[in-house]
Structure 1
Amino acid sequence: MSAGSSYVVRGTALRDHWFDAPLDHADPSGPAIRLFAREIYDPALESGNLPWLLFLQGGPGGRGNRPLGLSGWLREASKSFRVLMLDQRGTGLSTPASRQTLPLVGGAAAQADYLSHFRATDIVADAELIRAQLGSGPWSIFGQSYGGFCALTYLSFAPEGLKEVLITGGLGPLAGPADQVYEATFGRLRARNAEYFARYPQDRAVATRIMDHVRNVAEFLPTGERLTPERVQMLGNYFGGNTRIDALHYLFEDAFVPTPDGDRLSDGFLTQMSAQVSRAANPLYALMHESIYVQGAASNWAAARVLAGHPEFHPDAPEPLLTGEAVYPWYFEQDPALVPLRGVAELLAVRSDGWGPLYDPAQLARNTVPAAAAVYAEDIYVDRDISLATAASVRGLQVWESADFHHDGIADDGEGIFARLLSMVRGDAG
């Protein structure tokens, strides 16, 4: 382990930490990777006297947050903790996995074997290695979205390392198949489309017009590839937030401009569109997304198979609905950051061996670690009914269900949500 000197950014104290970890924790003498984590605390407090809180980011494939100050849930957490913001393996500064770095491993088959060590069980093993090297006793963890999935894995296989667990929007199914997730979330997404187009009825015609336009007229994103109707549909990712849903309206109103060749999509729209649909910043999301549900059987492009039974989401429907959090084979044909990874993506999608269990239901049923989770009633990414079924399988897990927030609730009222969950696990909730 190595650590840098502390420094202060806008009233936030930071210290960078580096750790060496085995690629395969079952083979400590094998290839190694480097892990990065950033310590965050209030400089007005003596950090050495503060207990640790490990934050597990959503994803998969999302790096830890890069805060520019103590705000939101970090403001609340820093009253009681020094926060460790982990770049999960393969993300950020933790031996990144991308089209640029994965060829160093070998061909597609070697890359698939390599990435089989980038799941929640490996992230938990990394966390335990880090905890030991920091000299911490059992610590508190906070998991958002996929980070909550990792928290359940932590409760399954290393509960001795945990003091208390907080989860927001992150209670996934404990067993397969992945299809159940998409059947549920397509239903939530259909309702969210109806809600949006009822709020902004003029946008229904705009969205359809954009998709018809790019089907017939070549419009190119700043990264050089042609924009397609199915990539326009990816704007449904805006539906996962309380405020982002309204931001979509402002994007649509910038869509067309008059030109000598007739109405075309504006440069401003195309630039914003590119930022929404590219996976250049988090390629592991596309590569590993369906694997977070896989335990012993191949996903075989589950989202694409389920979508086939929902014609209202087909790009050639009369008024196609916008899609949400899912990955389809065409991602690896249309996104320049993913095209070189098409071979490994196909191998991961059909991989049926090498996927070990992500949870231990027996251990969860006898859990003794205090835990609390926020479940959002209309969450389009992590279904409410699946979440409640999972919660019922974890002994002592307290649930706070809310219809006031969507999947990004901690971006809306992080301070309030964090404080509520912490009070729940400590037995002093009002």
Structure 2
Amino acid sequence: MTSYRQPGVVLTDRYFTVPLDHTDPGGEQLELYGREVVAASRAADELPWLVYLEGGPGHGARRFTGKQAWLARAVEDYRVLLLDQRGTGRSTPRNRQTLAPLGGPEAQAAHLARFRADSIVRDCETVRRELTGGAPWSVLGQSFGGFCATHYLSTAPEGLREVFITGGLPSLDGHADDVYRAAYPRIQRKVEAHYARYPQDVARARRIAAHLAEHPTTLPGGYTLTPEAFQSLGILLGGGDGSHQLHYLLEDAFIRVGARHELSDAFREAVQAQLSFAGHPLYALLHEAIYGQDGRPTAWSAERVRGEFPQFDAARALDGDAPLLFTGETIHPWHFETDPALRPLRECAELLAARADWTPLYDAGRLAANEVPVAAAVYHDDMYVDAAHSLDTARAIRGLRTYVTDEYEHDGVRASGGRVLDRLISLVRGEV
């Protein structure tokens, strides 16, 4: 272990070994990485552990500097483990480079089928026993991390001291189609709110999409920017300052070159950074698989369901005078054509989309008998996770207390500093 300091905290790099398949503990092994964080003033204290599960899927734990965001509140009471979930960050990362040696698309898809919430929770249990000597620990699950926490409550509640969930209470029985049928209207509301805030962006977005329809553009990193790919910048609208980020991106799109205008290098570079999956390919590969649990394939659900909402069709908008609607947290087959980080994984993605043997992730009976203290922040018009689905699940988990707010968007646990986490801690402790 290596320890080092940042302002106000002591950090320690920790490594753990877990089996790829927990039903075969002697088989292939994976290395997991976790960053321990403790307040410098309490580094020698015996503190309860809090493990943080990042959103995604496919994102490593956030890299904080010192006591940023919610971490300042957490280290008042806990020794925190920022865990990179399997396949992400420094935990045996899985991408086009590391998947290729495993074999063809069939072998890759079979491998990645073990990277859902069920395996992540079993990883957590292995790590917990090593760190705490068997004592229960606390879990903070953001977004997909909350999905993992809900699975944890369903399968290993004995390992849990308390659970905090932020923007991540999943539907317990909804198919991916149900998720996206609820999502597209929310996405449209977010886009309309953006255009109401920045009406000049209506013309800007149409102009950019029209340009791309005539001139598909290759970005600096090799990404092919099409009108549909441009629409996916709407994923920004799910964050607290995302509308402002999108506005500033659009206003710098064109530059005059002699007698004509073309997309500026600055715009191309910024869009590449927003759209590339090079740093988190599992997000694209497993995004719909996290909803698979009823024997039906996900079968490119977001793409199929989008057909039920023709107002999102870019060509149709450009043929008329309707505003171009951006999309959001949706993955489509064309992602595996436009993004060079995903192109080698297209066949693997097709196999995962066709897979029909996903096992259930949540045990409604066990959740109804839950005894673990749980509190969840539900953002009332969260673009990424449907609030109605979340509240249905909240009612299904015995003893769960909710903090429902319209003050924050999906990133409220970070954007609020420590306020959202502090509220959840107070709820769990019965202080409010």
- Alignment TM-score, normalising by the size of structure 1: 0.97
Deviates more, 1:218-227 or 1:337-346: 218-227
Moved runs in structure 1, 4+ residues, more than 6 A? none
Report the 3-state secondary structure (helix = DSSP H, G, I; strand = E; otherwise coil) of the residue aligned with 2:350: helix
Q: 1:48 Cα deviation (Å)?
A: 4.2
What is the CA distance between 1:66 and its match in structure 2? 1.2
Q: Deviations over 1:197-220 (max 9, x none)?
A: 011001000001000001112432
Distance 1:120 1:70 in 2: 28
Partners of 2:400 and 2:5 in 1: CA distance: 37
Q: Which residue of 1 aligns with 2:91?
A: 94
Counterpart-to-counterpart distance in 1, 2:73 and 2:301: 39
CA distance in 2, matches of 1:142, 1:226: 37
- Counterpart amino acid of 1:142? L
Match of 2:274 in 1: 276
1:415 corresponding residue in structure 2: 418
Asked if the contact 2:367–2:397 (Cα under 8 Å) also holds between the matched residues in 1, the reply is: yes
Aligned counterparts of 1:261 and 1:244: Cα–Cα separation in 2: 33
User: Which residue identity is paired with 1:89?
Assistant: R
Given that 1:52 and 1:136 are in contact with CA atoms closer than 8 Å, whether structure 2 keeps it comes out as: no
Q: How far apart are the structure 2 equivalents of 1:81 and 1:188?
A: 36
Aligned to 1:69: 66
Say which is worse superposed, 4-13 or 263-272, in terms of deviation: 4-13
Computed over aligned residues only, the root mean square deviation of the Cα atoms, in angstroms, reads 1.0
- Alpha carbons 1:140, 1:165 under 8 Å: kept: yes
Q: Distance in 1 between matches of 2:271 and 2:403?
A: 35
Residue 67 and residue 136 in structure 1: after superposition, are their counterparts in 2 closer, same or farther (change >3 A)?
farther
Q: Show the counterpart of 1:224.
A: 222
Q: For structure 1, which segment, 291-300 or 53-62, has the greater mean C-alpha deviation from structure 2 after superposition?
A: 291-300
User: Using a 3 Å threshold, how does the CA distance of structure 1 residues 218 and 346 change in structure 2: closer, same or farther?
Assistant: closer
Matching residue of 1:78:
75
Counterpart in the other structure of 1:365: 368
On the 8 A contact 2:223/2:272 being kept in 1, the answer is no
> Deviation per CA, 1:194-248, whole angstroms, max 9, x where unpaired?
1110110010000010000011124321112431101110110111011121111
- Could you tell me whether the CA contact under 8 Å between 2:188 and 2:325 is conserved in 1? yes
SS in 2 for 1:316: helix
The one-letter code sitting in structure 2 at the alignment partner of 1:343 is E
Instruction: Go from structure 1 to structure 2 and tell me whether the alpha carbon gap of 1:324 and 1:47 turns closer, same or farther (over 3 Å shift).
Output: farther
Partner of 1:25: 22
Q: CA deviation at 1:261?
A: 5.6
Unaligned 5+ segments in structure 1 are none
Aligned counterpart in structure 2 of residue 215 of structure 1, from 213, 216, 230: 213
Count of aligned pairs between the two proteins: 425
CA distance in 2, matches of 1:249, 1:36: 37
1: CA distance between counterparts of 2:258 and 2:7? 48
1:40 is matched with which residue? 37
The CA deviation at 1:29 is: 1.1
What is the CA–CA distance in structure 2 between the aligned matches of 1:127 and 1:106, rounded to whole Å?
28
1:372-393 Cα deviation digits (max 9, x unpaired): 0000011010011011011111
Q: Which runs of 5+ in 2 are unaligned?
A: 318-322
Which residue matches 2:312? 313
1:44 partner SS? helix
**1:352 equivalent in structure 2:** 356
Deviation for aligned residue 1:136 = 4.7
Distance 1:279 1:202 in 2: 29
Distance in 1 between the 2:224 and 2:103 partners? 30
* CA deviation map 1:242-280 (0-9, x unaligned): 112111111111111101261001111110000111100
Of residues 254-263 and 105-114 in structure 1, the stretch that sits farther from structure 2 once superposed is: 254-263
**Residue 47 to residue 352, structure 1, CA distance change in 2 (3 Å):** farther
Aligned letter for 2:326? L
Correspondence for 2:115 among 92, 115, 118: 118
Q: Give the match for residue 320 of structure 2.
A: none
Shift of 1:368: 0.3
In the aligned structure 1, how far is the partner of 2:223 from the partner of 2:363? 44
Counterpart check, 1:60 vs 2:63: no
Give the aligned residue type for 2:75: S
- State whether residues 173 and 390 of structure 1, in contact with CA within 8 Å, keep that contact through their aligned partners in structure 2: yes
1:52 Cα shift?
0.3
Residue-by-residue CA offset, 1:132-175 (whole Å, 9 max, x unaligned):
01125101100000000000000000000000000000011111
Give the % identical residues: 50
Question: Which residue identity does 2:396 align to in structure 1?
Answer: S
Q: Is 1:390 the equivalent of 2:388? A: no
SS at match of 1:399: strand
After TM superposition, give the deviation of residue 57 of structure 1 in Å: 0.3
The 8 Å contact of residues 202 and 324 in structure 2, kept in 1 or not, is answered as no
TM (norm. structure 2) is 0.97
Of 407-416 and 108-117, deviating more is 407-416
